[in-house]
Copies of this chain bind each other. A is one copy, B any other.
Amino acid sequence: MPTRKNLSKLVEKAGVRSPFDLKDYLDRSSREVDRALRKYLPSGKIKPATIHKAMRYSIFAGGKRMRPVLCLAAAEACGGNWEQAMPHACAVECIHTYSLIHDDLPSMDNDDLRRGKLTNHKVYGEAIAVLAGDALLTQAFEIAAHCEPTKRYPLKNVILELTRASGSRELIAGQVADAEAEGGEVIEFKQLKYIHECKTASLLSCSARLGGMSANCTPTQLSALSDFGYHVGLAFQVIDDILDVTQTSEHLGKTAGKDERAQKATYPSLIGLEPSREIAKKLTDKAFKALKPFNQKATALHVIAEYLLKRTH
């Protein structure tokens, strides 16, 4: 595996095509994900048009595709390929997008902007936004049903992986704890970490694991991918907290400083900005460490994790 210094150099060389050119890798992989999502999601012309337009509106609202890209890169790390991992990657993206639509609802975070665009309910109304979320969650399992089963991981494992990560004990548990904490009493650091683990680390870990499963990875590889995804995911959320404090709305594409105004606990609000940055760095180091058992095939995963850490600078 190339050293981190070399990788950073390569990443900086924008426009240079190489197997380790992050920009090129992200461009190509997210373009493939978009192409697959366009294929999987019903056309906006199919009746009832409103719901299919609303689903597509949020799916194609400019998301970073970090989860599906991690899924594809994890498949490569285990000797698989993008094609095998594509249904898994798209299923995860549908679940992520549904959770954002519902999270933005007036009864939840009541957000007007997401990724620099109006949130789903601001465009389609609250009823359709609830239903578009429901439809994307259902769509995720329809897409997952098209995963090619591997010897170690039949469809049952794929479905259970998705339901665990997105169910009432992980993703939804995070939304619940978040809703209960908001505007309430000061919450402890432990509880905030739990929220971040549930809301972000679970689905990122699931993305990496599903990529591995699509490539019929070994149990040891699966465990390493869990570890990698968890640490990248938690780092990702801590960095989101940091960016909310340090960036403007224009940079973020959403209402900056909103967490603070909503009296929402964040890593910086509980432990300060610099300690939060240190934690993000440590988490990403742990993610790198998890990739050690892999050979140079994990380069993409490595570079993506590094890119996520760079966001704090």
Hey, which chain B residues are within 8 Å of A135, CB to CB?
A: 167-168, 172
**Known contacts A168-B51, A172-B51; A108 and B130 CB within 8 A of each other:** yes
Say yes or no: B179 contacts A128, CB within 8 Å.
Answer: yes
Closest Cβ–Cβ distance, residue A145 to chain B (whole Å): 4
**Known contacts A48-B177, A176-B48; A156 and B145 CB within 8 A of each other:** yes
Indicate the size class of the contact surface on chain A.
35 or more
- Contact stretch, chosen from A17-25, A157-165, A212-220, A238-246: A157-165
Q: Which residue of chain B has its CB nearest to the CB of A102? A: B130
Say yes or no: B131 contacts A134, CB within 8 Å.
Answer: no
Interface residues of chain A, those whose CB is within 8 Å of chain B, are 42, 46-48, 50-52, 55, 98, 102, 105, 107-108, 125-128, 130-131, 133-135, 137-139, 141-142, 144-146, 154-156, 159-160, 162-164, 166-169, 172-173, 175-177, 179-180
12 contacts between A and B (CB under 8 A): A51-B173, A52-B168, A55-B168, A102-B134, A105-B127, A131-B175, A134-B137, A135-B168, A141-B159, A145-B159, A146-B156, A155-B156
Hey, which chain B residues are within 8 Å of A139, CB to CB?
A: 163, 167-168
Say yes or no: B126 contacts A107, CB within 8 Å.
Answer: yes
**Known contacts A48-B177, A138-B166, A167-B139; A160 and B145 CB within 8 A of each other:** yes
**Known contacts A102-B130, A127-B108, A175-B131; A142 and B160 CB within 8 A of each other:** yes
Say yes or no: B160 contacts A138, CB within 8 Å.
Answer: no
Hey, which chain B residues are within 8 Å of A52, CB to CB?
A: 168
Closest Cβ–Cβ distance, residue A40 to chain B (whole Å): 12
Say yes or no: B159 contacts A155, CB within 8 Å.
Answer: yes
Hey, which chain B residues are within 8 Å of A141, CB to CB?
A: 141, 159, 162-163
